[in-house]
Amino acid sequence: MQTIENSSPVPSRRRSMYVPRLDLYGPVHKGLRWALTRVLARLGGTSPTRREEAAAVLDELETVLAILEGHIAHEEAFVHPAIEARCPGASRNLEHEHEEHEAATAALRVLVSALRSGSSETLPALWRALYLRFAEFVAENFTHMAEEEEVIQPLLEELYTTEELLAIEDRLRASIPPEKMLAFARFMLPANDPDVRFGMLAGMKAAMPAEAFPMAFAAVTVHLAIDDIRELTDRLAPADAE
């Protein structure tokens, strides 16, 4: 395919009503949305004066921020260069928004640090500030992810064949260490439909030693309902019997 060059390389029309040939963003973004809203709800429902509960929420917030940073780094290392290779300038706005996310993440970490060391008198105000800043952060990320799914995904499908997109996705996945993949899978599984869950776990099972999979399965399904875990266990069972 030829490089697209024009004064406005990014399509302005959003495309929600279509199914991508190979969805680079959807499953991952579902996991991020699930994790971000879970933390936001926990921030809203937790009293900062209950130190142990508050510390657990802050731990999860920092975990989600780290996962989001890793996701952004993967996009910048693999997806954005692919866009620029065939449509110069089309990832410029995405890069700018990523820079804004980086600054917002740093500001959130300052508040988290202040809360961990704050006095009883300062905790309520700091907690409220963290909740409001994080709510704004979530809203901005949701807007950003929608743009990637409704504008950039269709653009990628114009620029690349399905096989080429699959190669990009494979390179991206291969760059993620197993421990980080497991950490993110805990958020992706409850956020996606049963077929996506099965595909993720079947791929995980095929990629790791048989004796390691039961422990990994237990770790990544921690947020699933019992019935969902049973369904996955049943669907994975035939592979065990072969």
Q: Is residue 12 part of a domain?
A: no
Last residue of a domain, one of 160, 176, 192: 176
Res 66: pLDDT? 95
Output the domain CATH number for residue 40.
Answer: 1.20.120.520
DSSP symbol at 22:
S
**Are residues 119 and 190 located together in one domain of the fold?**
no
User: Are 119 and 152 in a shared domain?
Assistant: yes
C-alpha distances in Å from residue 129, one per residue of 18, 111, 124, 126, 152: 39, 8, 9, 5, 33
Residue 53, CA distances (Å) to 49, 63, 219 in order: 9, 16, 21
Q: What is the pLDDT of residue 179?
A: 87
Whether residues 170 and 229 share a domain: the answer is: no
Cα–chain center distance at 79 = 15
Read off the pLDDT of residues 110-119 as tens digits, 9 standing for 90 and up.
999 999 998 8
How distant, in Å, are the alpha carbons of 18, 215, 225 from that of 232?
28, 15, 11
For residues 119 and 148, membership in a common domain is answered with yes
> Both 172 and 61 in a single domain?
yes
Q: Is residue 5 domain-resident?
A: no
The verdict on 162 and 205 lying in the same domain is no
**Number of domains observed in the structure of the chain:** 2
Name which residue leads in pLDDT, 23 or 242: 23
Q: Is residue 13 part of a domain?
A: no
| Domain shared by 96 and 76, yes or no | yes
Q: For 148-199, how does the pLDDT look when each residue is reduced to its tens digit (9 = 90+)? A: 999 999 999 999 999 999 999 999 999 998 888 889 999 999 999 999 999 9
Looking at 159, 176, 193, the residue that finishes a domain is 176
Domain stop point among 151, 176, 201: 176
What pLDDT, on a 0 to 100 scale, did the predictor assign at position 2?
43
Q: What range defines the domain where residue 186 resides?
A: 177-242
- Is 205 found in the same domain as 87? no
Are 202 and 213 in contact by the 8 Å Cβ rule? The answer is no
Provide the whole-model pTM. 0.89
198-234 residue pLDDT tens: 999 999 998 889 999 999 999 999 999 999 999 999 9
Residue 6: band (very low, low, confident or very high) from pLDDT cuts 50, 70, 90? very low
